[in-house]
Amino acid sequence: MSTIKTAVNRRSFLKVSAAAGGGMLLGFGWLSSCAREPETGLEIPESWTDINAFLKIGDNGVVTIMSPNPEIGQNVKTSMPMIVAEELDVDWQKVVVEQAGLDTEKFTRQVAGGSQSIRQSWKSLRTAGATARRMLMEAAAKEWDVPVSELTTEQGTIHHKSSGKSIDYGAVATAAATLEVPEEVELKDPKDFKIIGTSRKNVDAQEIVTGKPLFGLDVQKEGMRIAMIAHPPAFGQKLKSFNAEEVLNMPGVEQVFAINAAPEGIELQWSDTNAFPELVAIVGRSTWEVMQAKKALSVEWETAESPESSVGHEAALSELMDKAADEPARRDGDPGKAFQGAAKVIERTYAAPFLAHNTLEPMNFYANVTADKAELEGPIQTPASLRKTVAALLGMEEAQVSIMLTRMGGGFGRRLYGNFGSEAALISQKAGVPVKLVYTREDDMTQGTYRPAYKVKYRAALDADNNLLAFHVRGAGVHGSPVFENRFPAGAVAHYLAEHHDLGSNISTGAWRAPRSNFMAYAEQAFIDEIAEVTGQDPIDFRLQLFEKAQQSPVGENNDYDAARYAGVLKLVKEKAGWGKPTPGLHRGVSAYYCHNSYVAQVVDVEMQGSTPRIKKVWCAVDCGIVVNPDAARNQIEGGIVDGIGHAMYSAITFKNGSPEQQNFDRYRLIRNSEAPLEIETFFVDNGIDPTGLGEPSLPPIQSALANALYRATGQRIYRQPFVSENEVLG
Amino acid sequence: MASFTLQINGKPQTVEVAPETPLLWVLRDHLQMTGTKYGCGIGQCGACTVHLNGTAMRSCSLPVSAVGDKSITTIEGLSEKGDHPVQQAWLEHDVPQCGYCQAGQIMTASAFLANTPKPTDAQIEAAMNGNLCRCGTYTRVKAAVKTASAKMG
Ligand code: FES
Ligand code: FES
C-alpha cells in the first residue's frame, strides 16, 4: 500500500454534492443497451450520486465511471475506468462506462497521443477511485459509529468484521458525497490488484458488432446539413475563384461559399497545422448530393509557391546526406579520428517516403454555431486545443464552445490536428445551420499532415578485431530530422556522432503513429544487423554485448534508455522464439527498439511463396510496466505489428507537380488480411513498474525485423521503403 | 428523384432519391442506418458491405435503382439480438480496435460462412481480403472466422 496526497488532484474533482432525487445524470436510454451482459442487464438506479469527476454511484450500487480521454481504438475507454474501479474496489460487472466530453475543469490532459493516456493518468485515476472508496467508508463508519480503520471493502460492499455489519456502496453514496474530500488516501499494493492485470472486454464491443452509431460520421441531428470542402489539388496552390452558380441549382445543394481557417490576427495552436486554410465549402441536404456538386464545381486555383515532387525531395535529401551539420546534435569521444584509424568502415543509407494516416473513418465533424454558442461533436485527439482555435475563429469565449467526443475510427496521429473541426464550425457559422462536415477519402488522403519523407546515413567503424569503434548517424527529413541522438547505440560506443538536417517544404506533415521512431527503428536495426553480420556475430548476441557495455560503462550523458530493460526484452524474445534453432524453409529476423518509454523486441519468421513473403509468426516481447488489460494490450501490440509491416512493405505517398499521386485505396496500398502474420505471440515483462506507452512501441521495430528476415530469404538488403518496390525479388 | 421501396432487414422502406444514389448513402443519410460505413466509395475497403439476397455486396458501388426487390441485410439486421455466431465470435476474440471496419468485416464473414461453412485458412484469407482494417486486426479476424465456423457447424 502507498499513500498519496489527494490535494494535488483536488482541482480535478467536482464540488462534492448529492444529486437531486431521481438523478438525471445521464440519459438512461443507452444504459440498458450498453451493459456488457445484455442478458443480465443492470438495473437503472433511482438516483445517482456524484462522488467525484470520475464516478457516480447509483443507489443500487451501479457505478458509472467516466472515461475522460479520447478513444481512437487504443481501448482507453475500457482500461482507464478499470483503473478507477480497481481502487474503488467494485464489481466490474456493475460498472458502466461513459465517455466524458471536453471538460478542462474536471480533467487534465484529455488527449490521445504519444501513447501517454495511461501513463499520465495512472495516479489520478487511482486516486479518484481510492478517494471515493475512502469517503464511502467514512460515511459507513459515521453511520455505525465505529472507527473507519476497522472497516474493509469488497466488491462494492463495506464490512465491519467485529459487529458483522455490512452495507453496499449505493446505500452510503449520498452521505459520502457530503463529506470533506480526504487530504490523502492509500493506494493498493499492485500485488493486491483484482481488476488491473485481468482481461476485460472492450466496453463498446457489443455496440460495434451490432452497428450502433458511435463514430463522428454517424452523428445525426435535427436540421443538420451535410457540408464538404474543396481544397487545392496541389501543395503550393491557393484559392483564386469559384463559380457557385453552376452547382447551386443541382438537387439538394443549398449554399456554396469560401472560408478561411487561418485569417490574419487569429492566434492558432500547434495542432492547427494545415496547408490549405482557404477552402470552398458546399452545404446541402445529403452526402451523395453534395458529393456530386463538389465534383461539378469549377474552382480556379493559383500557384503561390513552387510545386514540389518526390524526385525533388529525393535529390534534396540525398544532398543533405553528404553535408555535415553546422553543429552536431551529440558527439562522444573523437569520432573523426576513430573513423580515420578504422580497419573497416560500413556505410549505408536508408530512405522512406511520405505516408498518409488513412484512418478508415475519414475526417469529419459536427458543428452547430448560433449567435451565443457553438456545439461541436466529433472525433478529435486534442479537444482542448480545438476549442481554443474554434473560439478564436468564431469570436467567442471558450466557455461558449462545447466539444463532445465520439469514438474515433482510428487516429494514428491524424486527429491531433483539428483543422476539420475548425472548418465545420466556420461553415456552420456562415451557413447559419448545423452541419456535419464530411471529407471524402480523396479529401482525406490529399489534405496533407503526412508522415514526412526521411533519409538517414549510418557509418560504423570497426577495428582489425571487428570491435565497434565508432558510430555515426546523420538524418534528414521534411520539416525535421528523424534522429534521436540520445537513443541506442549512443552510450554503447566510445566514439559517437549524431547530426540533424531539416528540409523545408510546403507540404504539411504531422505526427504519425510513433513519430520518427517509425522510420529510425527500421534504419537503425537493419544497420545493426549488417554490422553484426560483418563482424561474424549472432545478431542478438551482438546487440546484447552493446547493452552490456551501455550498462557497465556507459559513454556520455543523457542516454535515453535503460540498457538492462532493453536487454531484458531481447533475451525474453530469444528464449520464446527458440532463437538459434533454424527451421528449414523459414527465414528469421530480429529487432529491438525503445520508444514511448517502453521496450519491444521481436523475432519474425518468413517463408517465401514464390516472390511473395508469408509471415508465419511474430514473437514479441514487451516491457511497458504494469499491463492494465492484457488481452486488449495484446490487440494493440498486434495492431502495431500489422501496421508496421504494412507500411514498410507496401505504402507510399508520392508527389508530382505538388499533387499526391495516391488519392484513394486503389493506388495507396494498405496491408490486407492475407499479408498479415498468421500468428503473433506477445509476452509482457512482469516487473510491477508503473505503466508506460503501449499504442505505438510495437510498430517501429517490426519493420527491421522483417527487413532482416527478408534479407535472409532473398539475399538482398533493403534500404528503402516500401520494400516491395525496392527489393527485386519481392512481388 | 424517384421512389424506391427496398426490403431492408425484413421490412419495406420507401425512399425518394435520385436513382444513381448508392445504397450506402440511402442507408446512412435517408434511413439513418449508420452501421454500414463509408471508407473509400470506390469498392476498395469493404467498410460498406451489406448482403443482397445473402451475397456480400459493396453498397458504395451499388446504385439504389439496381437493388430491385432483392432483400438487403445490414449489420443492424444481421441478428435480432446481436448474437449471430459471427458477432459472438467477434466478441469472444475482442476483435475490434477502433471498430470502424468491423461491421463490414462481419457482413463479409457471415455471407462467406453461409456458403462455405468449413473454410480452409486460405479460403478465409481470400474471402476477407477485400476488407481493409487500418488498425491491423487481421490476425484476430482470421481466428474469429474460424471460431464462428465452429459455432455454425
Ligand atoms: S466504402 Fe465501399 S468499399 Fe470502401
Ligand atoms: S478496427 Fe479500426 S479499422 Fe478495423
State the average pLDDT for chain B: 97
| Helix residue spans in A270-416 (DSSP H) | 287-296, 310-321, 335-340, 383-394
Give the mutation target among B75, B135, B139 for probing the ligand 2 site: most ligand atoms within 8 A of CB.
Answer: B135
Contact A696, A702 (CB under 8 A): no
Residues A590 and A548 in one domain: yes
How far is residue B110's CA from residue B56's CA, in Å, rounded to a whole number? 9
Spacing, Cα B46 to ligand 1 middle (Å): 5
Stretches where chain A sits below pLDDT 70 are: 1, 4-42, 115, 731
Residues A172, A139: contact at Cβ < 8 Å?
yes
Domains of chain B with CATH codes: 2-77 (3.10.20.30), 85-152 (1.10.150.120)
The three-state DSSP-derived secondary structure of B35-73 is CCCCCCCCCCCCCCEEEECCEEEEHHHCEHHHCCCCEEE
Residue pair A289/A250 in contact by the 8 Å Cβ criterion: yes
B134 CA closest ligand 2 atom index: 3
Q: Report the run of H or E that residue A460 belongs to, with start and end.
A: strand A454-462
Ligand 1 centroid, distance to B63 Cα (angstroms)? 13
E strand intervals along A102-195: 151-154, 157-160, 165-168, 184-187
Q: Is A446 inside any structural domain?
A: no
DSSP state of A355: B
> How much is the pLDDT for A556?
95
Cα–Cα distance between A298 and A291 in angstroms, integer?
13
The pLDDT of residue A36: 35
CA of A231 to the centre of ligand 2 (A): 27
pLDDT at A1: 63
Sheet holding A679-684, edge to edge: A587-595, A598-609, A612-623, A679-684
Residues 235-254 of A with CB under 8 A from B: 251
ipTM attached to this prediction: 0.98
Cβ contact, residue pair A202, B136, below 8 Å: no
Query: Which of A408, A438, A468 is the last residue before a domain boundary?
Result: A438
B40 touches ligand 1 (CB under 6 Å): yes
The helix or strand, by DSSP H or E, that contains position A225, with its residue range, turns out to be strand A225-230
CB within 8 Å of A476: residues ≥ 6 apart: A317, A320, A321, A454, A455, A456, A500, A501, A502, A503
Same domain, A405 and A528: no
Q: What is the CA radius of gyration of chain A?
A: 28
Give A373's DSSP letter. -
Question: Within a 10 A sphere around the Cβ of A343, how many other Cβ atoms?
Answer: 12
**pLDDT for residue B26:** 98
Look up residue A621 and give its DSSP letter. Answer: E
- Amino acid at site A97: V
pLDDT at A41: 59
B45 lines ligand 1 (CB under 6 A): yes
- Measured CA to CA in angstroms, residue A528 lies from A456, A513, A549, A591, A707 at distances of 14, 23, 15, 9, 12
Q: Please, which residues have CB within 8 angstroms of residue A253's CB and are 6 or more apart in sequence? A: A247, A282, A283, A284, A285, A289, A290, A293
So what's the pLDDT on residue A38?
Answer: 35
Is residue A692 assigned to a domain?
yes
- Flag whether A314 is in a domain: no
- A527 closest CA partner among A574, A488, A501, A494: A488
Q: How far apart are the first and last CA of chain A?
A: 57
How do residues A103-122 score in pLDDT, each as one tens digit? Answer: 888 887 787 777 677 777 88
Q: Are residues A434 and A510 in the same domain?
A: no
pLDDT at position A657, please? 98
How many folded domains does chain A comprise? 3
Please, which residues bridge with residue A226 across strands? A284, A436
Q: List the CATH number of the domain containing A200.
A: 3.30.365.10
Whether A443 is covered by a domain: the verdict is: no
Whether residues A149 and A292 fall in one domain: no
Pick left, alpha or beta for residue A715 (phi over 0 → left; psi -120 to 50 → alpha; otherwise beta). left
User: Is residue A540, in this structure, part of any structural domain at all?
Assistant: yes
Nearest by CB: A220 against B32, B36, B94: B32
Is the minimum CB–CB distance between A296 and chain B shorter than 8 Å?
A: no
Model pLDDT for residues A456-508, shown as the tens digit of each residue: 999 999 999 999 999 999 999 999 999 999 999 999 999 999 999 999 999 99
Angle, CA of A716, A719 and A721, to the nearest 5°: 110
Main-chain dihedrals φ then ψ at residue A275, nearest 5 degrees:
-80, -20
> Is A212 in CB contact (< 8 Å) with chain B?
yes
**Do A37 and A153 share a domain, yes or no?**
yes
A316 within a domain of the structure (yes/no): no
A256 and A187 both lie in a single domain: no
Q: How buried is residue A139: exposed, middle or buried, by Cβ count under 10 Å (0-12/13-18/19+)?
A: buried
Residue A312 lies in a domain: no
**pLDDT of res. A20:** 38
Tell me which of A74, A215, A360, A407 to substitute to probe ligand 2's pocket, judged by most ligand atoms within 8 Å of the beta carbon: A360
A 34-93 near B (Cβ less than 8 A): 38, 72-75
**Comparing C-alpha atoms, which of A274, A233, A278, A236 is closest to residue A258?**
A278
A328 and A470 co-located in one domain: yes
Distance, CA A192 to ligand 1 centroid (Å)? 48
Q: How far is CA A529 from CA A494, A524, A569, A592, A707, in A?
A: 19, 9, 17, 11, 10
Q: Which of A188, A209, A230 is the last residue of a domain?
A: A209
Contact status of A491 with chain B (Cβ, < 8 Å): no
- CA nearest to A294, candidates A421, A443, A448: A443
Residue A240 lies in a domain: yes
Mutation to probe ligand 1, out of B50, B60, B74 (largest number of atoms < 8 A from CB): B60
Residues A250 and A138 in one domain: no
| Residue A578 sits in the same domain as residue A617 | yes
A412 Rama sector, left if φ>0, alpha if ψ -120 to 50, beta otherwise: left
Q: Are residues A512 and A532 in the same domain?
A: yes
Closest by Cα among A472, A273, A248, A234 to A382: A273
**Residue range of the domain that includes A222:** 216-305+363-438
Is residue A81 located within the same domain as residue A128? Answer: yes
B68: CB partners within 8 A, 6+ apart: none
A208 at interface of B, judged by CB pairs closer than 8 A: yes
- Asked which of A158, A189, A209 is the last residue of a domain, the reply is A209
Instruction: Give a three-class secondary structure readout of A254-293.
Output: EEEEEEECCCCCCCCCHHHCCCCCEEEEEEECCHHHHHHH
Tell how strand A679-684 and strand A655-656 pair up: unpaired
A33, A71, A360: which to substitute to probe chain B, counting the most B Cβ within 10 Å? A360
Is A626 found in the same domain as A581?
Answer: yes
List, in order, residues 6 or more apart from B120 with CB less than 8 Å away: none
- What does each C-alpha distance from A395 to A285, A375, A390, A505 come to in angstroms? 28, 14, 8, 31
Chain B hits for A206, CB-CB cut-off 8 Å, are 82, 91
